[in-house]
Amino acid sequence: MFRGLVSMMGRVQPMCMRHVGMMAGLLVITVLVMFGGFTMMVRSGLVMVGCQFVVVATFVRFRAHVALPLLR
């Protein structure tokens, strides 16, 4: 594993200081894309939890609807 890393580092070209700003810009774009994906995952999880609440509320309401005539 380290042998491949050492051989790759030997072929890496040095980078000028003016190109470092471009790398920072690419890093910012990457971070924004990652947070966007995380936001979408959280949103879909909240949608699933909301759907489960609807299902539970429907069952509770249905059970109350069936049980009320039996109590009279």
Integer-rounded Cα Rg, in Å, for the chain is: 28
Walk along the chain (72 residues) in steps of 10 and give the mean pLDDT of each run: 74 70 80 87 93 87 63 55
The confidence score (pLDDT) of residue 1 equals 63
The confidence score (pLDDT) of residue 64 equals 63
Residue 4's CB is within 10 A of a number of other CB atoms, namely: 8
- What CA–CA distance (Å, rounded) separates 23 from 54? 47
Q: How many residues does the chain have?
A: 72
CB half-sphere exposure, 65, CA atoms < 13 A: 6
- What CA–CA distance (Å, rounded) separates 39 from 33? 10
Domain ranges of the chain: 16-71
